[in-house]
Amino acid sequence: MDFMKEFEKWLASPALSGEERAELEAIKNDPKEIEARFYGPLEFGTAGLRGTMAVGLHNMNIHVIRWATQGFADVIAAEGQAGKDRGVAICMDCRNHSMEFARAAAEVCAANGIHVRIFESLRPTPELSFAVREYHCQAGINVTASHNPKEYNGYKVYWEDGAQLPPHHADAIAKRLEEIDIFSDIKTMDYDEAVKAGLIEIMGEETDARFMAQVTAMINDKATVEKVADTFKLVYTPFHGCGYKLVPQALKALGIKHLICEPKQMVIDGDFPTVSSPNPENPEGFYLAIDLAKENDVDFILGTDPDSDRVGIMIRDKAGEFRPVTGNQTGVLLLDYLIGAMKRAGTLPKNAVALKTIVTTEMARKVAESNGLTCFDTFTGFKFMAEKKNALESTGEGKVIFSYEESYGYMLGDYVRDKDAVTASMLLTEMAAWYADQGMTLFDALEALYEKYGYYAEKTFNLVMPGLDGLKDMANLMKSLRENPPAEISGVKVAARKDYQDGSVTDTATGAQSCMELSGSNVLRFEMADGTSVIVRPSGTEPKIKVYILTQGKDAADAAANVEKYGKWVDTLKK
C-alpha cells in the first residue's frame, strides 16, 4: 500500500471532521509518522482489532470502526434474514471514545438491516458474551482494549455461541474488508432514527439481573461465608473500569459484609489517572488498594481490569506484606478449591474436565488429574476453550467445570464463553473466606498446594517490539528459531521441539517426527531434558514476543533457580 497516497485520500475525504483533518495536517511533514498510520490497515484477526486511538488507517478511530462493522455486517447478512433478525449485541468499556465507537457500530448494523441490542452504558465483557447467548443473537461486538494502556481501544467480535469469532469467520471479515472502501462503501443511519424504527434496542438493568442470577447460582458454599462474614474483609478495585457495579453486587450476594472499595479507582475514567497501566497483572497498580488493606487489616485484595474480564489478587504473607499471586497460581488455587467445594456439595460431575492453554502451568494438570479430572490443552484465547468446551459437552465426553489461562483469565459456568472476572471474583472471595474458616490465608493455602502437588514455577518474558520495524523483528525471530532451532538452552539439551504452526513434533535425539492434535498457531515449544518447557509466541494483541518458562524443582528455591537460568537465554533473544 502506498502510504502517502492513502494519507492524501484521508486528508481529502469529506467524511473527516475539521478536528480530524487538523490532526492529519499537523503530521504532513512527518513521513515516518504518516507511514506508521497509513502503511496498511490494522489486521483483523480472531481477536478483532486493537490499536492506539488516532486518525489513520492503522489506528482506532470512528472510520475504522465503521469500516470493520460494515465488513462484519456483510458476514452477518450472509446468514440470511434470520441472521439479521437475530441481530447483534453491542457493549463498550470505560475507555475514551468507547461509547462513540459502539454507537457508530450500531448505526452501521442498523443501516444494513441488522437488529441491534446495545447496552445503555459500559458493561463487563462477560455480560456481552452472556447477552449474545441469552437473546440468541447471531453475533456480538465489544468496544474495548481490555487491559491495554489508555491510548488504546479495540473492537472484539463474537459469534452466536457467545465466544470470540472463530478463525473462518474472522478470515471472511478480513477478506471483505479488502474489498470495501473505508469511506464510500459504508452504510450508516442516524442513531435516534434507528431507535425509533426499532432497529436499535437498549439493554440495561433487566439484562444485568438475568446475568447476575446466573453468576450467583455459581456459589458453592454460602454457609461457610456466613460463618466468617463478621470478621472476613477484603479490598476491591475496578481500576476505573466496568467492574465497579456488578463485582460488588456479586460479593454482597455471596454474603460479604466488609467489602472496602478503593474510592479513587471506583471512579470511571478512561485516562486511568491513578495507574500507569490498568492491568491487574502489574502489581504496582495495586498501591492504593494495599494502603487501604493495611489501614483496615485486610488479608485479601481483588482487582479487575477495565473491561472486567481479568482479575488479579494480592495476598498477605507471613511477614505481613502484600504480594501478587500470578495468574497461574490463582488458577491452581481456584481449580483445587472448586473441586473440593463441589465434592463437599455433591455437585462435581462424574466426567469433570479442566481446560488450560498450552502456555499455562502444568501444575493445573497435576491438580486436575490427582483429583480424577481430565485436563485438556488449547491454544491461547478463550474462543479455543469455548470451542473445546462445546465439543466435549455436545458429545458427552466431559463436563467442563473450569477453564483458565495464565494471563489472569478464568471462565466458569455455562452462560458465558469468555473470560469472566465477575464470576471469578465472587468465587475467589468464596475461596478466601473458606480458607479463613480453616484458619488459613491464601498465602498458607498456596504453600500447602506446592507441598501437596510439587514445586512448580513459571515466568512470562515480554520482548517488546513496537512499530513497523517491530513487526519485522518479531517475524524474523520466529523464522530464525524455526530455521536454526537451538540444540540446547541455558546448558540443557532440547529433548523435543513442537511447532504448533504445522502440528509437528521433532525428537531431537533421533530426528523422528510425529504430529500433535493442535496445529495452526504461530507458537514454538522446546521441551527440555530436565522437564522444563520453553514456549515462544507473538502476542495477538500487543507488539511483543512472549516467552514462557514452565518449570519445576525439588523445592521453591530450586524451581525459582530454573526460571532464572532459562531467563538468561531469553535475554539473548533481545539482541
Residues 137 and 170 in one domain: yes
Read off φ and ψ for residue 251, nearest 5 degrees: -70, -35
Over 80: is that where the pLDDT of 219 sits?
A: yes
- Secondary structure (3-state) at 72: helix
Residues 307 and 449 in one domain: yes
Over 90: is that where the pLDDT of 58 sits?
A: yes
**pLDDT tens digit sequence for 167-179:** 888 999 999 999 9
Relative to beta strand 399-405, strand 233-237 is: unpaired
Residues 9 and 30 in one domain: yes
- On average, the pLDDT of the chain sits at 96
CA distance 424 to 412: 7
Measured from the Cβ of residue 371, the count of other Cβ atoms closer than 10 Å reads 16
What local confidence, expressed as pLDDT, does residue 575 receive?
67
Over 80: is that where the pLDDT of 449 sits?
A: yes
Question: Number of structural domains, the chain?
Answer: 4
Over 80: is that where the pLDDT of 542 sits?
A: no
Amino acid at 575: K
Residues 133 and 116 in one domain: yes
Residues 422 and 460 in one domain: no
HSE at residue 292, side-chain half, CA atoms within 13 A, is 21
Instruction: Give, as one character, the DSSP assignment of residue 1.
Output: -
Least confident of 124-133, 241-250, 310-319, 463-472: 463-472
Least confident of 71-85, 291-305, 529-543: 529-543
Residues 474 and 368 in one domain: no
What local confidence, expressed as pLDDT, does residue 471 receive?
84
Confidence tier at 166 by pLDDT (50, 70, 90) = confident
Domain finish residue from 203, 221, 240 = 203
Over 70: is that where the pLDDT of 433 sits?
A: yes
Span 199-208, mean pLDDT? 98
CATH of the domain at 513: 3.30.310.50
Whats the size of the chain, residue-wise? 575
Residues 425 and 469 in one domain: no
CA distance 455 to 518: 27
CA angle 204, 208, 211 (to 5 degrees): 140
What local confidence, expressed as pLDDT, does residue 68 receive?
97
Amino acid at 338: L
Q: Where are the alpha helices (DSSP H) in 308-441?
A: 327-345, 363-370, 382-395, 421-437
Domain finish residue from 453, 480, 498 = 453
What local confidence, expressed as pLDDT, does residue 70 receive?
98
Q: Where are the alpha helices (DSSP H) in 87-188?
A: 98-111, 125-134, 167-179
Over 90: is that where the pLDDT of 284 sits?
A: yes
CA distance 265 to 275: 9
What pairs with residue 536 in β-bridges?
524, 547
Confidence tier at 540 by pLDDT (50, 70, 90) = confident
Over 70: is that where the pLDDT of 9 sits?
A: yes
Residues 67 and 33 in one domain: no
Residues 449 and 463 in one domain: no
Domain finish residue from 395, 424, 453 = 453
Residues 246 and 324 in one domain: yes
Active-site annotation, residues? 146
**pLDDT tens digit sequence for 109-157:** 999 999 999 999 999 999 999 999 999 999 999 999 998 999 999 999 9
Residue written as grid cell 511477614: 319
Q: Using CA atoms of 104, 271, 420, 47 in order, give the dihedral in degrees to the nearest 10.
A: 50
Least confident of 80-89, 201-210, 430-439, 542-551: 542-551
SS3 content of the chain, % helix, strand, coil (to 5): 40, 20, 35
Confidence tier at 466 by pLDDT (50, 70, 90) = confident
Residues 357 and 500 in one domain: no
Q: What is the pTM of this model?
A: 0.95
Residues 435 and 465 in one domain: no
Segments forming the whole domain that contains residue 415:
212-453
Cell numbers describing residue 406: 495464565
CATH of the domain at 343: 3.40.120.10
What local confidence, expressed as pLDDT, does residue 43 receive?
87
Relative to beta strand 88-92, strand 139-143 is: parallel
